[in-house]
Amino acid sequence: MRQLEMEADENVMPTAGCAYALLQDQLQSLLQAKIPNLLVNGDLNNRLSGNLHISTPDIPNSAIIARIRHQLAISTGAACSSGIVAPSHVLQAMNLAENIIEGALRIGIGKFTTKEEIEKVSSAIVSAVKAILSLK
């Protein structure tokens, strides 16, 4: 059964890839409009659809995650580094500053993600960032 589902996904991948990219761009735009100094990590033109990697300089990712972990699934790095408490070796290889690496978040967008969920994710992250900034 899983094999059939995977094959079906592969057959619609060009369409799905476009849908992921549109949702990713929507989320990116919503976040950039409301979070000062938000950075998108990586190449803006050549990136994996469905994967938005951002940084909030000078705001630790752990502070954001602590405020939203019960609302959505979000991580500080790739799934292959799950459980590793260390700065991303990929972001270090990109020569990003430490305050950018410490504020890095990876947001995955899947085939069942809706526009409404993108808006909720944006709202949750923006609220968390504003709450943290109000403490400074």
Active-site choice (4, 44, 79, 80)? 80
d(CA 40, CA 51): 11
d(CA 54, CA 131): 18
Annotated catalytic, 18?
Answer: no
Q: Taking the alpha carbons of 125, 69, 93, 80 in that order, is the dihedral positive or negative?
A: negative
Q: Which active-site residues does the annotation give?
A: 80
